[in-house]
Amino acid sequence: MMKNTLARDFFSQPTLTVAQQLLGKVMMFENATGIITETEAYIGKDDPACHAARGKTPRNAVMFGPAGFSYVYFIYGMYYCLNFVTEEEGTPAAVLIRGLMMIDHPPFHLNGPGKLCRHLGITRDHNNIDVTTSNFFCVKDSLFSPRFEVTPRIGIKRGQEKLWRFVVRNALASSPL
Partner DNA sequence: ACCCCGATCGTA
Partner DNA sequence: ACGATCGGGGTT
Q: Does 77 bind DNA (CB under 7 A)?
A: yes
Candidates 14, 65, 66, 114: give the one binding DNA (CB under 7 A).
114
Residues 6+ apart with CB under 8 A from 125: none
Q: Is 139 in the site for DNA (CB under 7 A)?
A: no
Pick left, alpha or beta for residue 13 (phi over 0 → left; psi -120 to 50 → alpha; otherwise beta): beta
Name which position in 17, 30, 54, 121 contacts DNA (CB under 7 A): 54
Nearer CB in complex with DNA: 35/50:
50
Q: From CA 50, how far away is CA 110, in angstroms rounded?
A: 24
Do 138 and 69 contact (CB within 8 A), yes or no?
no
Which residue of 19, 36, 94, 167 would you call a contact of DNA, by CB under 7 A?
A: 94
Nearer to DNA, 79 or 144 (CB): 79
Is 155 a binder of DNA (CB under 7 A)?
A: yes
> CB–CB of 11/150 below 8 Å?
no
Cα distances (angstroms) measured from residue 91 to each of 15, 64, 168, 170: 10, 6, 27, 33
Among 75, 143, 163, 172, binds DNA (CB under 7 A): 75
Query: Smallest distance, Å, CB 85 to DNA?
Result: 10
DSSP structure class, residue 172: G
> How far apart, in whole angstroms, are the C-alpha atoms of residue 2 and residue 24?
13
Per rule CB under 7 A, is residue 8 in the interface with DNA?
Answer: no
Per CB under 7 A, the segment of 2-10, 130-138, 151-159, 162-170 that binds DNA is 151-159
The residues binding DNA (CB under 7 A) are 40, 42, 49-51, 54-55, 57-60, 63, 71, 74-79, 81, 83, 94, 96, 112-116, 153-157
